[in-house]
Structure 1
Amino acid sequence: MALRNVIGLDHVVIAVRDLDAAAKSWEALGFTMSPRGTHSAHMGSGNYTMMLGDDYMELLGVLVPTDHNAGLRAFLEGREGLDRAAFTATDAAAGAEEVRARGLAATGPVAFGRPVPLPGGGEAEARFNVFQWPRDQRPAGLGIFACQHLTRENVWIPELQSHANGATRIVRIEVLAKDPEAAAAHLAKLIDRAAEREADGAFRVPSGSTRGDFVFLDRATLAARHPGVALDGLPEEGGAALVLGTKDMAAAAKALGTAKGATVAAAPSRATGVLLRFVPA
């Protein structure tokens, strides 16, 4: 039975070494960037977000080393790119208890916040409650946690949801795995859902509701799904690609500078270690 208090993909965390430089790279791909945020002191991190419809992408970097961001720092020692995925929690405390009841040592919830500069002037606060699955439970190297938004109106700001590339949602996260079937089964167990084999041999795990899916695949399958796109910089195992829905494929192609007839995508070298692909929403 699916978790009652965890309802699907909320956002992805893209770990970056230089927050401001990363924001400029993604802005050049047609995204409207939120103002830079600074998390609570115990977290020691800062971020930029790219807000979509019901989900979003977060660029996350270390501002001050703390115990809390040790995992992020360890990831960045190896590479930039897709580090973690967050699920929407309707009740973080109850969600953590559900996970514990399944024999997994969830941690949290932890409360934190960050100031949000408003487009019309002034400042609000975004507040969250977060819990994590055990840190050693990373299917194919991808971490997972759950986030309860206490102030959604201060995160999903309409002016920040309009992008030159027409992006509207995360369709799927593609994760490189040495054993895609086992990695998909691992995630499916953690979130109490079922993995499904796709025609090309990849394995898909729905995140819940109408939110984006997780797809586990090998390198050859990833290359076949994104013809003509260089895979340089992607890990042997771990989060590799984001496939986004756009309401305007022509706008997405223009933003990425894609030649006519080519795959509307950006190589990892242009998107801080993430292969970025657009498809019709």
Structure 2
Amino acid sequence: MALKNVIGIDHAVVMVKDLDKAAENYKRLGFTVSPRGTHSAHMGSGNYTIMFDPDYMELLGVLAPTEHNAPARAFLEKRGEGIERIAFTAVDSTAGAEEIRAHGLTPVGPVDFERPVTLPDGTVSAAKFRVFQWPVAEAPGGVRIFACQHKTRETVWIPELMMHANRAKRLKQVLIASPEPANDAAHLSRLIDREAKAEADGAVTVPSGGDRADFVFLTLDQLGKRYPGVSLRGLAERGGAALVLVSGDLEATEKALGAAATRSGAAICVAPAAANGTLLAFVAG
């Protein structure tokens, strides 16, 4: 039975080495990037968000080493930049944590935190969250998962931040590289109670729930065949590899991406080396 308090992918976390440089890079790719957010001293991190509907991307960087961000620092040291974790939307984080506990897993949290938000009119408010994590060791395909309850959606989904020159509208798929796609997909299926489905090319899809983006587990060879002509340099054999984004206008997408754009079949792509370790594939909506 699917989890009742977890309703699908909320956002993808791209871990970056230099937070401000990463934000400038994504601006050059035609994304509208939020003002920088700073987390608590305990967390020791900061972020920029790229807002869609109903989901978003988060560029996350370590500002000061803490015990809390040790896994993120280990990821950067071992893998380099790229998709480090995926958040689900939690209807109720407390109830969601108890749901996974009932499945024999020990949740981390839930915990409450907030960060200051500068609104378009210049006033400062706060974005408030309650999150819980699946155990750190439970990382399907090397990608950690957690759930995020938004207590102040109005300070996160700000209309002015949801319009992008590259016409990105929402996440369609999160692609995770794996030497054994079926095994890693089965792992995620157990964690979120969603059924995996084998695809014709050998990849395995796990729906995240509702109308949200799907997870797709596939080998690097299968990824290369899906996006021919796109350099996969920098991607690990196992780990978060790509985000497939729905575009409202692929011609506008290609124009906004400029020299970073690579046409690949029906998609317009940005190679991982040009997008902080994450292949971006824009497709028609």
Whether the TM-score (by the shorter chain) exceeds 0.5 is: yes
TM-score, reference length from structure 2: 0.97
1:225 aligns with 2:226: yes
* Cα distance in 1 for residues equivalent to 2:263 and 2:50: 26
Q: Which runs of 4+ in 1 moved over 6 A?
A: 259-262
Q: Is the CA contact 2:117–2:155 (under 8 Å) kept in the aligned structure 1? A: yes
Which residue pairs with 1:27 in the alignment? 27
Which residue pairs with 1:82 in the alignment? 83
Q: What are the within-5 Å matches in structure 2 for residues 235-274 of structure 1?
A: 235-257=236-258, 258=261, 263-274=267-278
What is the CA deviation profile of residues 21-48 of structure 1, one whole-angstrom value per residue up to 9, with x for unaligned ones?
0001111111000000001221110000
Q: What are the within-5 Å matches in structure 2 for residues 53-202 of structure 1?
A: 53-78=53-78, 79-202=80-203
- Give the superposition deviation at 1:145: 0.3
Which residue pairs with 2:281 in the alignment? 277
Q: Is the CA contact 1:137–1:143 (under 8 Å) kept in the aligned structure 2? A: yes
DSSP 3-state at the match of 1:264: strand
What is the CA deviation profile of residues 111-151 of structure 1, one whole-angstrom value per residue up to 9, with x for unaligned ones?
10000001111111000000000000011101100000000
* Cα distance in 1 for residues equivalent to 2:43 and 2:52: 25
| Letter of the 1:25 counterpart | N
* Cα distance in 2 for residues equivalent to 1:239 and 1:117: 30
Which consecutive residues of structure 1, in runs of 5 or more, have no partner in the other structure? none
Which consecutive residues of structure 2, in runs of 5 or more, have no partner in the other structure? none
| Letter of the 1:241 counterpart | A
The 3 A distance-change label for structure 1 pair 240 and 152 is same
- Give the superposition deviation at 1:219: 1.1
* Cα distance in 1 for residues equivalent to 2:115 and 2:40: 6
- Give the superposition deviation at 1:174: 0.4
Corresponding pairs, count: 281
Which residue pairs with 1:207 in the alignment? 208
Q: Is the CA contact 1:193–1:206 (under 8 Å) kept in the aligned structure 2? A: yes
* Cα distance in 2 for residues equivalent to 1:225 and 1:253: 19
DSSP 3-state at the match of 1:95: helix
Q: Is the CA contact 2:195–2:206 (under 8 Å) kept in the aligned structure 1? A: yes
TM-score, reference length from structure 1: 0.98
Q: Between the two proteins, what is the percent identity of the paired residues?
A: 59
Which residue pairs with 2:38 in the alignment? 38
- Give the superposition deviation at 1:256: 1.7
| Letter of the 2:71 counterpart | G
Q: Is the CA contact 1:256–1:264 (under 8 Å) kept in the aligned structure 2? A: no
* Cα distance in 1 for residues equivalent to 2:242 and 2:264: 20
DSSP 3-state at the match of 2:283: strand
